[in-house]
Amino acid sequence: MVVLLEPFQNFDKAQSYMQALHFDNVLSNEEVGGKIWVLWMNDLTVQIIRMTSQFLSLNIVEGQFQFLANFIYAKCNMMDGRVLWEDLRWNSLSEDPCLFAGDFNIIRTDLERRGGRSRPIAAMDDFNRWIHEGGLIDLSSHGSKFSWCNGQCGLARAWAKLDRVLFESNLMSTFPNATCSYLPRTTSDYCPMLIEFLKDPYSYGPPPFRFQQMWVEHPEFIDFVK
C-alpha cells in the first residue's frame, strides 16, 4: 500500500498514476477538501470508516489480520489541530489494532527541529496530550533525524520531524519489531516514509512489558499512578 499527500490535482491523474505503477485500487478524501491518496493491490481488503479534510480512517484486512489505519495530513493552524485530535479520539476507541501515520505538521519538542521559528508550545502540548491519552507509542525510526526541510540555504534553512508513525499498544504487541524509515529526499521537501510490519520469528509467549520514559515527564503522571 502507498499513501501520498497532495500529489494529484484530480482523480483522473491519480488513476493514471495507479495504472502506471500497476496498483489495483485508489481512493482519496478530496471530496471533503482533503489531499490524501491511498493506492493498494487486490491482496488487501480496504473499507473507508471515516474521512475528513485532515485524515482518512481505513479498515484494512490482509488474510486473518485486521487493523484500523488512520492516515493524517494535518493543517498548520493550531485550532484545526485541536479539531483533528478530537476527531481522532473517536478512532482510538476502535477494538481493532490502530496505527496513526502521516504529516502531523507539529513536533513534540523543540529537539525535533533545527533552525526556523519555534513551534507554539500550546500546539505541542495539545499533540502530546492526545498521544498520552490514547496510550500511543512512537514507532522507532531509521534514516534522517528530520522528515522535512524547507529547502532554503544558509541561516534560512530549517528541518523538523513533522511526519511520524504512532502505534496503539495492541498493534505494537502484534508487531513488536515494526519500524519506520525516512528515505532520502529527492524532489519533495519531505522524506518518503516506509513502514515495515516485522514480526519477531524467535518470539515465544506474551510480549515483554514496555515502558516509555517520556511517560514520567507528563505533568499528570504521579497522580495517575496514585
pLDDT at 200: 59
Residue with cell 529547502: 151
Task: Tell me if 69 sits within 8 A of 99, measured CB to CB.
Answer: yes
For residue 187, give the 3-state DSSP assignment.
coil
pTM over 0.85: no
Give the amino acid at 197. Answer: F
What pLDDT is attached to residue 75? 95
pLDDT digits (tens, 9 = 90+) for 182-224: 998 887 888 999 999 876 555 555 555 666 777 777 888 888 8
Tell me what the mean pLDDT of segment 110-130 comes to: 92
What pLDDT is recorded for position 220? Answer: 86
- The tens digit of pLDDT for each residue in 37-54 reads 999 999 999 999 999 999
CB atoms within 10 A of CB 82: 15
C-alpha distance from residue 55 to each of 27, 107, 149, 181, 194 (Å)? 13, 18, 22, 21, 18
User: What would the pLDDT profile of 57-84 be if each residue is shown by its tens digit?
Assistant: 999 998 888 999 999 999 999 999 999 9
Confidence (pLDDT) at 129: 94
State the residue range of the domain holding 45.
2-225
How many domains does one find in the chain? 1
Q: What is the CATH number of the domain that holds 21?
A: 3.60.10.10
Which cell goes with 123? 500546539
